[in-house]
Structure formats: structure tokens, C-alpha cells
Amino acid sequence: MTLPGLTAERELRIVRELAAQLDDFYREALARGLGEADAGAYARDQIRDWDRMAQDVWLADRRHARPRFDRLVEPRLEQLTGAIGPAAARRNFGGGLLVLFNALGDVRYAIRQLVRTPGFSAVAILTLALGIGATSAIFSVVNGVLLRPLPYPHPDSLVRVHEILQKFGRFSVAPASFLDWRQQNTVFEHIAAFNSTGATFQTPSGPERVQGTLVSWDMFDLLQVVPTLGRTFRADEDMPGKDAVIVLSHGLWERRFSSDPRILGQSVTLNGAPVTVVGVMPAGFTFGGESEFWRPLALDPAKAGRGGHFLGVIARLKAGVTVERAGAEMKTIAERLALQYPESSANESAEVIGLHANMVEHIRSALLIILAAVGVLILIACANVANLLLVRASIRGKEIAIRTALGAGRLRLILQMLAESVVLALAAGAVGVFIAYLAIRPIQTLGAGSIPRAGSIALDGTVLAFALIVSLVTGILFGLAPAWQASRTTVGSVLKEGGRSSTVSGGRWIRNGLLVAEVAMSVVLLVGAALLLRSFERLIHVDPGFRPEHVLAFRVALPNNAYPQEHHKIAFFASLMERLESLPDVTAAGMIQTVPMRGDYLLSFTIQGRPAVGPNQEPSANYRAISPDYFKAMGIPLLRGRAFTLDDGEKSPMVAIVDQKFVERYFPDQDPIGQGIDIGNGTDGFYKIVGVVGSVRNDSLDSNPSPTMYGPYTKDVFSSMWVVVRAKSEPAQLSAAARQAVRDIDNALPAFAMTPLADVVSDSIAQRRFSMLLIAVFAAVALVLAAVGLYGVVSYSVSQRTQEIGLRMAIGAQRRDVLRLVVGGGMKLAMVGAVVGIGGALALSSVMATMLFELKPLDLVSYAGTALVLLAVAMVACYVPARRAMRVDPIVALRAE
């Protein structure tokens, strides 16, 4: 009925009252003994001319005309759309324009419907907003990390080139290989190498350590990025001795040089030596992780080796060259070089991979699994809201019946209901985007250490468009069932069911089906979360091989010009150890060139007295240069023999310590003590093994310990060392004293990268923690949604069955029986859902395999635990409405019939 100009409340009331009165006529007819069809016809017959009726009502009720503003806008709309009116619906305009106008009318009507039922709308919108918010937040990660192109022009032609080593697979590149590649390739416009570095800047507030990258001179040309200020490097600066130039990042320029444009051409002190600033890069430019400056790599062709692999290599493809073609050529070149230099490069090859693909390949599957999880979450939210809408549709059955009587066609009703769910979903989408906005910061923080490109995670247009599409799709998805059901409602069917607001029995099947699906999807998510949680729980209890608690770690780097000779460096480090150990709170202090879980350092070796093997065939193992008290500071147990002492100095005999894994692998039936190993092959001769220590997980907590050799740092002096200090109390409390100890020896040196060692360990599993936390949160939300859904369905069924329950109680059923009836009904659905869900989880379990640590995807505890938790929650969700059912007063319930 068209009641143009009346307020929404008024229109609702009138429709409602007419429905009530028609219902009375219908019941009267039934009471007189008419059949249902006849009774329906009789009821409908009460109002023959709806247009006239509408006009009379409008005339009588003008006082409730809507405010002026509304009336100015809407009659136009109304005229054009004739939206909800039976007359207009019957007037056969046809044409797409009418559909559009109808849709506008539907949307307007839908908004009014939602405003009328604020409680329902709030629950539905919040439920969906959780789903849409979570999806948008995760999509922003996927978008930032996987989808958004790299921030360089023509990013698709940027590639990464690796060497392939027989023993280690994909690997960094040896300088000589890179120089040969540059000369011999025909597929790249540019090919450039880089290596990370660090530098100490002197400032009035003390020395500051800054990350930088050494790059081939044409790196910036390759990336096609021009500096904001000045220039980048020239070819002639990419040579040893001519490389005293530096390009600054925008951030460093702002922070350290107050954005002073006169910095160009000036000399700054870097690692104690002067370098000239030639350029400043634009804001937002990044290359080489956290790099704040770039300097020429300055490879010396005369000294470039093939044994040490430490360069990263990127290249830009020539126009028309594919990654595959470039890969084929590089493979050919590398294999030719391998034949040419069998001593150093036997069996080596090369591989070309898209730069972006290379960055994200290790995170891709985890992110896609998380995205899938969040997709399941949104489906659960949809099922929930669909159920809410179904219940509401049946409550609104009379309204719909009237509209049907008024001549609204089935398609019309479906569209109208869909408009409501889409409007609902769009509102939820808006709230969801806000939730995503709130979630994005924690996700960035959580992801910073574990996922590449975390900085490019943002709520941008793509994410908003995604949220919009998700909202529309979910709106249609969860609106379909109620719309379809509502469209089947007829005046007769509604009136037939008397005063109770109910609907065709098909509704129950849809609701139950949706609930089972919802429970099943929750189970899938919960099983996934349980597997990840259990796997993570195992992971954090993995013994790293050292005791990271109470240990403070930091780095010290000695500039070569201030500490030119090895004995200068040794003197500094020895003095530092002495000072640290004399601190009152310190039990032990040690040093190592690469602390476990922060990078590897592999060297090949040969064992004295064993038959020689071919070039490039020698075994290799982790190599660590350490100070005497390193094991004590780290809590690594000495199993046999002795640790290094201060006597193992520069001039004393060469000694080594190996770990248990090394013994197991290379001296399975032999006493390793007293054996000789040539660490690094042919550099210093044989080291005599004097001790065996416990094995350490060098790569990460989820990697296996690998054989490791230790040598005294005095025999192999590194200019940059990690210091580990074991404290009696909290390691963080030591940091000031540790910094002071470094400064006391050399005022120009910063202690940097200071962190509790425990954080180093937990950082090594940050990506797993990221995935686990996200999926656990989603699973928890899913569980809550499933519980809410179950509660809703059971409560509704209780309200529907009040009379039945009353009757049962009247004929002697006890409260206990009622409880069993209601809870049993709900639990049956939950069980079916749980079984289906467990089945689904089993089917999907293989997907999880890569994310699990020492846990089979078919872990019984996870499955059984999930089922138990879910059934317990379901029990509570059913019990609450069941209590209400138990309190049904049989007299009241029966009288209602």
C-alpha cells in the first residue's frame, strides 16, 4: 500500500493493524467452518479496492505526514518509482529504468525497516561487521604484501638472481660470478649487486649506528628512481679507493641533517672516515630493508672471489624478455662458469625469479590460509545473520502476506528482502571498515618482524573496494534464504498459523541447515586454531640449546681506520669483556660473530687423516668465532673436554670446539677430542678439537640443530661482534651499564641492536606466532558466533513450541524432560555440525601441514579437544533457552492456543 508522506512508524502501524484485523476475519471464517482457502478469500475480500483504501487512510491520517524535507524529496522518488505500491507494481511499465527506481524505493524502505528494529539491526550489523572487519584487515595485509606492486617503476621487469649451490640450493652470489654475469648476459638492461652494511655516525648526542646498503653504481638507474636532491653514483665511483661518496635516505637527511639542502657536496664522518654526500633519495624510497644510506659496493675485479657467496643480485629485464628466458640464459652462463672454475664453483648454477615473488614466496601460503580462515569466518557471520533474518521474516509474515495480497509479485518481494539484507550488509561494511582500521596497527606491529613489506599494509582504495564487494556479496548471500522463504509466504499460510507469528515449515529446515553449516565451519576453524596452538606450544618449549633468559645481547662494530690491526681489535674486545664481567649484576659475558638465530655462517672443512674429496665436495658446518666465556654466558653445556680460555690467544696453538651434532655426524665411532679439522680449508691449517658442547638451534627455534664448529675469536678476528651478557636479574636493567662499558673504552662507539636474547629466540618464530594468533582470534570469534547462532535457533524454537511444551507438562512431563527435549534438540544440531566440521577439517588437514611444527595434521587431541569445547559451548547456548522452557506455565501456554 502506498501511503506517501506518512512517517515510517505510522505506515508500519497501519499495515500491522490492518493485518491483525484481516487475521481476525480469517479466523472468524474458519470458526464458521469454512475451508482455509475460502477463509483466506473471505479475509482478502474485506478490502476490495486497495487504492481507495490507501487514499482514505491517507486522508484520515494526514496529520502524521512526514517532515517537509522528506516530503520534498520522496514524493519525487515515489512518483518515479511508485515503489512499494501495488498500483505501481501492477502498472506494467517494464524497462530497466523502472527496475532501478524500484530498487531505490526498496533501499529507502529497507533503511526504514532497519531503523524500526534497532536491536535486531545492531546485532546483525555487529555480527557481520566482525566478519567484514576481519576480512578487510587481513585483505589489507594480503593486498599490501602480495598484491600491491613494488614501489618502483615497471616493477614487473625487476628480478632477483640467485646462485644455486649443490649443497645449499638457492644462495647468495659470489662477487666474481656477479662480475661475469654482468659482462656475459644479454637479457638484462641492468644487473646490480648489493650487500648490507652498517655505519656509525658521530653526532653531538653521541655515536649512532645506522643501517645501510652497499650497491652497484647503477642500482638506482636499474630501479628507475631519481634522487630528490643531487645525484646517485657514477660508474667511476664504484671502485675501491674512489668510493668515498654517500647517498642519504630522506629520513636520515631529515633526522640528522635537518633537511638542509646545502648538505650536498659536504663531507660527513662515517665509521671515522670522511665521505661526501652526493644525493638524497625521495621520501618513501626504500631498498635494502631498513637502509638509511647507500654507498658504492666498489668490487675490486682483481680480488673478487668465487668461494664466498654474500651478494644479493637484482636485475631489470630488457623489454620483451621473459623471466623464463632470462632464467635459461643465466643458467647457461652459470653452468659454463662452473665448468670453467671447477675448484670453486663445481656444479653451480643460477636462477632468475621475479623480485616480488622472491620477497613474498615464504609468506604466501600462510597468508592465503589466513585469508581462507577469515573467509570462513565471514560465512559463519552470514549464516548467523541469515538465521536472524529468517526469524524476523517469519515474524513479519503478516506484513509480507499483506504485501502479497496487495499484488506484490514474488520477484518483487525477493528484491525487497534482498535490498534489506544488502543495506544491512553495507552498514555492517562501514562498521567493519572501522574495525579493520582499528585492527591494522596491531597487525602491522605483529607482522613487522615476520612478514615482508609490513610497511605497505594500509587501508587504501583497493581494500575499501574489497570491503564494499565483500559487503555486497555477503548481503546477497545471507539475504537469499530469507528472501526466498519470504517470497513463498501467502496470506493464507500466515493467517492459517493463527496468532503465532510463524511461517512455512520449510523455514525450520533452512534455519537448521544454516546452523549445522555454521557449527561445521566453526569446527574447521577451531581445529585449525587448535592445531596451530598445540604446534606453537610445542615450539616454545623446544630447547634452543642455550638458556636465553637473563641474557642481554647487543652488537659492537669496530671501524677499520680506528682499529686497523687484529691486535687492536682483540685488545678492545678483551677489555670490553673484562669490564662487563666486573659489573656487579653480571655472571658471565661472552662474544660471538653471529648470535644464533640471527644469520648463518657456514664454512667447509676437512678432517685430518681422512681421504681427500673433490673440489667443492667437502662437508661444511656452522662456524662461530667466540670468546672464552661465551658458553657460560649462553648457558650452553660443555659435554666433554674444555672450553676456550684466555690462554687460547693469538699466538697459542689452534684449538676448536665442536658440538654434539658435529660429533654424531663426523665422529660417530671416534673420540673427537684431539682430532684435527681444517676450518675454512687451507687458510690456517688444522685446529685441534679440545671440547664438545651441546648443540644449538642456529637458524630458528623450528629448525633442527646443525653441526657447529667453534674457534677462538683471537684466531679469526671479526670487526663486528655480538656480545652476550648473562645477568642475575632482568637483562634490560643491564643495558645502560653495558652501553657505558662500551663508551668507557671508546667514546665514539655505540652498542647497538641491544635486545634481550629471549626476544631473538621468539623473533625466530614470529611468523608462526603471527599466523597462530590471527587464526586463534578468528576461531574464538567463530565459536562465539556459532554459540550465538545456536542460542538464537534454540530460543526461537522454544518460543514456537511453548504450547507443545505446556501440553507435555500438563500431561505429566517433568522439567527434566523439558530440559532434555530442548537441549537435546539443539545438541542434535550441534553434533551434526561437529561431525560435518570434523570431516571437513580432516579433508583440509593437509593444507595445514606446512604451518605445523612436529605435529601431525591429524592430531587426535586437537580434534577431540575442539569437539569437546564446541559441544560444551553448545550445551550452554542450549541450556539458557531451555531454562526458560522449563518455566513455561502449562495453563497459560494452553490457553494461548
Partner 1 sequence: MFSSELKKGSTEMLVLSLIESRPRHGYEIGKLIEARSGGRLTFALPTLYPALLRLENRGWIKGRWMERAGERERCFYRLTPEGRRVLAEKRRTWQAYVNAVNEVMGGSDA
Q: How many Å apart are CA 710 and CA 643, to the nearest integer?
A: 10
Burial class of residue 40 in the structure, from the number of CB atoms within 10 Å of its CB (0-12 exposed, 13-18 middle, 19+ buried): buried
| Residue 19 found at the interface with partner 1 (CB under 8 A) | no
Q: Which of 9, 21, 169, 653 binds partner 1 (CB under 8 A)?
A: 21
Under rule CB under 8 A, residue 451 binds partner 1: no
Q: Which is nearer to partner 1, 14 or 557 (CB)?
A: 14
Smallest distance from partner 1 to CB 501, Å: 8
Which cell numbers hold the place of 211? 643501517
Question: CB atoms < 10 A from the CB of 328, how many?
Answer: 13
CB of 10 to partner 1, least distance (A): 9
Task: Measure the CA–CA gap between 630 and 364, rounded to whole angstroms.
Answer: 38
**Residue 892 in contact with partner 1, rule: CB under 8 A:** yes
Closest CA to 24 of 398, 397, 393: 398
Instruction: Tell me the number of residues near partner 1 by CB under 8 A.
Output: 32
Segment interacting with partner 1 (CB under 8 A) among 47-55, 199-207, 273-281, 616-624:
47-55
Specify the stretch interacting with partner 1 by CB under 8 A; choose among 44-52, 307-315, 379-387, 578-586. 44-52
**Pick from 7, 12, 13, 209: which binds partner 1 (CB under 8 A)?**
13
CB closer to partner 1 out of 39 and 443: 39
729 CA to centre of own chain = 35
**47, 321, 757, 867: residue in contact with partner 1 (rule CB under 8 A):** 47
Residue with cell 475460502: 38
> Is residue 813 within the footprint of partner 1 (CB under 8 A)?
no
Answer whether 138's CB lies under 8 Å from 371's CB.
Answer: yes
Q: Between 48 and 68, whose beta carbon lies closer to partner 1?
A: 48
C-beta of residue 14 within 8 angstroms of C-beta of residue 57: yes
Q: Which CB atom, from 57 or from 602, has the smaller least distance to partner 1? A: 57
Among 24, 189, 335, 746, binds partner 1 (CB under 8 A): 24
C-alpha cell at 657: 670446539
Cβ(760)–Cβ(598) below 8 Å? yes
Q: What single letter denotes the amino acid at residue 662?
A: F
Strand, coil or helix: what is 173? Answer: strand
Q: Which residue in 4, 5, 11, 18 binds partner 1 (CB under 8 A)?
A: 18
Residue 20 in contact with partner 1, rule: CB under 8 A:
yes
In this structure, what C-alpha cell is assigned to residue 696? 644449538
Cell of 237: 665511483
Please give the grid coordinates belonging to residue 565: 690491526
3-state secondary structure 246-278: EEECHHHHHHHHCCCHHHCCCEEEECCEEEEEE
- Region binding partner 1 by CB under 8 A among candidate stretches 46-54, 109-117, 211-219, 824-832: 46-54
Asked if residue 810 binds partner 1 (CB under 8 A), the reply is: no
Q: What minimum distance in Å lies between the beta carbon of 822 and partner 1?
A: 22
Question: Which one of the spans 20-28, 238-246, 467-475, 840-848 is the region binding partner 1 (CB under 8 A)?
Answer: 20-28
Other CB atoms closer than 10 Å to residue 154's CB: what's the count?
13
Q: Return the sign of the alpha-carbon dihedral for residues 57, 60, 62, 63.
A: negative
d(CA 132, CA 766) in angstroms, rounded, equals: 26
Pick 122 or 896: Cβ nearer partner 1: 896
Exposed, middle or buried: residue 115 (CB in 10 Å: 0-12, 13-18, 19+)?
A: exposed
As measured in angstroms, the least distance from the Cβ of 514 to partner 1 is: 27
Nearest distance from C-beta of residue 395 to partner 1, angstroms: 11
Report which residue type is found at 45. D
Contact characters 51-90, partner 1, x per CB under 8 A: -xx--xx-xxxxxx--------------------------
Identity at 300, one-letter amino acid code: D
Question: Residue 368 or 892: which CB sits closer to partner 1?
Answer: 892
Instruction: Name which of 41 and 831 has its Cβ closer to partner 1.
Output: 41
Dihedral angle of Cα 16, 19, 20, 23, to the nearest 10 degrees: -160
Q: Quick one: 62 or 231, whose CB is closer to partner 1?
A: 62
Least CB distance to partner 1 at residue 895 (A):
4
Specify the stretch interacting with partner 1 by CB under 8 A; choose among 42-50, 161-169, 442-450, 730-738: 42-50
Question: Looking at 442, 499, 649, 674, which residue binds partner 1 (CB under 8 A)?
Answer: 499
Q: Does 751 bind partner 1 (CB under 8 A)?
A: no
Of the candidate residues 35, 46, 684, 728, the single one contacting partner 1 (CB under 8 A): 46
Q: Based on CB atoms, which residue is closest to partner 1, 401 or 529?
A: 401
In contact, 350 and 164? CB cutoff 8 Å: yes
Q: Coil, strand, or helix at residue 171?
A: strand
Q: Give the C-alpha separation, 799 to 860, whole Å.
A: 39
Strand, coil or helix: what is 728? coil
Give yes or no for residue 896 binding partner 1 (CB under 8 A). yes
Contact 246, 175 (CB under 8 A): no
Q: How far apart are CB 864 and partner 1 at their closest, in Å?
A: 47
CB 818 within 8 A of CB 809: yes
For partner 1, which is the closer residue by CB, 15 or 278? 15
Structural Rg of the chain based on CA atoms: 37
CA-wise closest residue to 710 among 726, 693, 686, 697: 693
Interface with partner 1 by CB under 8 A: which range of 45-53, 242-250, 298-306, 417-425?
45-53
What is the nearest approach in angstroms of partner 1 to the Cβ of residue 465?
Answer: 45
Which lies closer to partner 1 via its Cβ, residue 16 or residue 547?
A: 16
Which residue in the set 5, 11, 25, 489 belongs to the binding site for partner 1 (CB under 8 A)? 25
Q: For 92-121, what is the HEC assignment?
A: CCCCHHHHHHHHHHHHHHHHHHHHHCHHHH
- Binding range to partner 1, per CB under 8 A, among 41-49, 119-127, 304-312, 345-353: 41-49
Round to whole Å and give the CA distance between 444 and 314: 27
Helix axes 860-886, 766-800, angle to 10 degrees: 30
Closer to partner 1 by CB, 59 or 411: give it. Answer: 59
> For residue 60, what are the CA distances in angstroms to 3, 57, 65, 367?
11, 5, 11, 62
The candidate with the shortest Cα–Cα distance to 661, out of 636, 632, 686, 626, is 636
- Smallest gap, in angstroms, from Cβ of residue 19 to partner 1? 11
Residue type, 184: Q
Are 896 and 803 spatial neighbours (Cβ–Cβ below 8 Å)?
yes
Chain-centroid distance, C-alpha 450: 10
**Minimum distance between the CB of residue 111 and partner 1, rounded to whole angstroms?**
23
- When the beta carbons of 25 and 563 are compared against partner 1, the nearer one is 25
- Segment lying near partner 1 (by CB under 8 A), choices 23-31, 438-446, 461-469, 526-534: 23-31
Which is closer to partner 1, CB of 47 or CB of 388?
47
Applying the rule CB under 8 A, the residues between 653 and 672 that interact with partner 1 are none
Q: Which of residues 212-271 bind partner 1 (CB under 8 A)?
A: none
- Provide the minimum distance between the beta carbon of 6 and partner 1 in the complex, in angstroms, as a whole number: 10
Applying CB under 8 A, which of residues 500, 508, 739, 815 lies at the interface with partner 1? 500
| 32 near partner 1, rule: CB under 8 A | no
Nearest to 174 by CA among 196, 195, 190, 198: 195
Q: Does 14 bind partner 1 (CB under 8 A)?
A: yes
Is 91 a residue that touches partner 1 (CB under 8 A)?
no
Distance CA 303, CA 810 (A): 100
What are the residues binding partner 1 (CB under 8 A)?
Answer: 13-14, 16-18, 20-22, 24-25, 28, 46-49, 52-53, 56-57, 59-64, 498-501, 892, 895-896
